[in-house]
Amino acid sequence: MFWESDDNREPVLLSFSYLQQHVNNITLPSGWSLLSSATEFRFSQVEFIGDVSKIVRCVMVGEDLNWRVKVHGRDLLNSHYIFNNIPPTVTDFEVLNKLITVISQCNICMGNTDPSFIELLLSRGGEIVKAFSFSCEKDVSAYIEEDLHAKAKDGKVYHSTIRTTDCLLIADKIRCTKCSSYRNNLRSLLSRRKSQDQVCKIQTGSRVNLRYLDKVQLKERAVNLQKEKIALKRTLDRTVKRLISDDGVFVEKSLQSDFKSIMEDNCGEVIKCFPEDSFQRLFWEEQLKHARCADSRQMRWHPTIIRWCLFLRFKSSTAYEALKNSGFVKLPSQRTLRDYSNYIKPEPGINHHVLKELVSEVNGKTNAVKYVALLHDELKIKQDLVYDKYTGELVGFINLGHINNELAKLEKYGNCKNTKGPELASHILVLMVRDLASNFQMSVSYHPTDSCRADHLFPIIWNTISYLEVSCVMVHPGIGNFIGCTES
């Protein structure tokens, strides 16, 4: 197309520079304004929302005179039917006028403005994600459009709307065919959420206050609670039985009847202390039930129950005396008693109390006394239970206190479904100092192990030696083992 130039009256091709010179001659519809740069013209319809202004429709013409149209911030396809009679390049002012008129008069798809849908999308982060690609990119099917203060075809102003990602933006009706058919998806999503809410309300873990529930829902919630309670009781039952069968030990007949009588005597107190269905109560009752059986010879006693029985009995000192005299638990010699009375609190690693004792023992004596041998041995242990290693008889327990802590620990361990629980030490490595000149001996450190190898032993022994040497006790180079030494 040629254009008449004002100056020399010769026909010229409409160029970008010509457009720059004459653009102000174009009459824009009301509410439209022009923004021009060295490379582009933008004819925009601007809406004022409070302090912010937003561009609703925009026609852009580039240096190459090709045009683009944006509606609500999104590109409109040039192939859209409303552009059927408009060439893709601005060949004269008439094309530009036509384009601006078409865009300013067309109806923008309203999307879905229903508050219930908006609320649904807001609860899902403002968009509906169809799927995620392998590279974690979202495939969004619909989104909430920001406030554009837009007017629907019926004149209603809407502030936010839900558009599908393939929204046609321009529509003959109130909304485009894509957004119109997407309403069904939104409806089904909404009804699915409503039914989920309904289920949530009657679930036992629901946080919905009871006063918001109707009679039927209240009844269902109560039924569910009852079911859950029964299931939990069954699980707890199984846990208790498993613990007893896994860790239980057999005791001799006289000890068995003593434990039984302790349980009978203290049953009332335990019932008072622990509520029905509590782990402690179930544990206690399970053992008592078996103890009461006519044939309880093959009964396994869980170490914690045995300790519990002893704890109950030890609470009264007169009972303790009677117990000791009856010989029901063998605490045979003063030495054993001393070992388990925790005069020096046993703790893994170097025992500093023992070290202090050792220093006071050798202090002021001749140098010969200060030479000691360090012995080590590994002993097999079973969860705080102490056996006479010659007769296999139950002697006592390393620790009788904190029975409630132990029960709580046992309950926690019993609830670990996936594993056997924390790895327990099966052996104790003991390091003992024996004087070479006189006859005293002391165990200076112990370390719980599951199997002690040479590379474990090495740092432990050198660490102990360094402690001893610092305490002015000379360790003789020869390190011997106890009888039945560790192979490593």
Q: Which residues bind Zn ion (CB under 5 A)?
A: 109, 167, 176, 179
Strand 40-49, strand 150-151: pairing? unpaired
Q: Which is nearer to Zn ion, 41 or 83 (CB)?
A: 83
Whole-number Cα distances in Å, 431 to 70, 188, 347, 417? 84, 73, 13, 37
Could you tell me the smallest distance in angstroms from the CB atom of residue 163 to Zn ion?
5
> What residues form DSSP beta bridges with 67?
61
Both tokens of 262, joined, read 């302790």
Please give the Cα distance from 119 to 202 (Å, whole number): 23
Kindly state the smallest distance separating residue 175's Cβ from Zn ion, in Å: 5
State the nearest-atom distance from the C-beta of 158 to Zn ion, in Å. 13
Give the contacts of 485 (CB within 8 A, at least 6 positions apart). 377
Q: Residue written as tokens 């920001």?
A: 146
- Residue number, 58 or 167, with CB nearest to Zn ion: 167
Whole-angstrom Cα distance, residue 138 to residue 129? Answer: 6
The smaller minimum CB distance to Zn ion, of residues 109 and 457, is found at 109
Smaller CB separation from Zn ion, 167 or 282: 167
Amino acid in position 408: A
Closer CB to Zn ion, 142 or 329, in the complex = 142
Q: Decide whether 89 or 141 has the Cβ nearer to Zn ion.
A: 141
Rounded-to-integer distance, Cα 82 and Cα 213, Å: 53
Centroid of chain to Cα 416: 16
CB of 153 to Zn ion, least distance (A): 12
CB of 227 to Zn ion, least distance (A): 48
Interacting residues of 53 by C-beta distance below 8 A, sequence separation 6+: 46, 47
Q: How far is the CB of 150 from Zn ion (least distance, A)?
A: 12
Nearer to Zn ion, 112 or 280 (CB): 112
Closest separation in Å from C-beta 47 to Zn ion: 19
With contact defined as beta carbons under 8 Å apart, do 118 and 105 qualify?
no
* Region of residue 384 (left: phi > 0; alpha: psi -120 to 50; beta: else): left
Residue with tokens 């495939």: 139
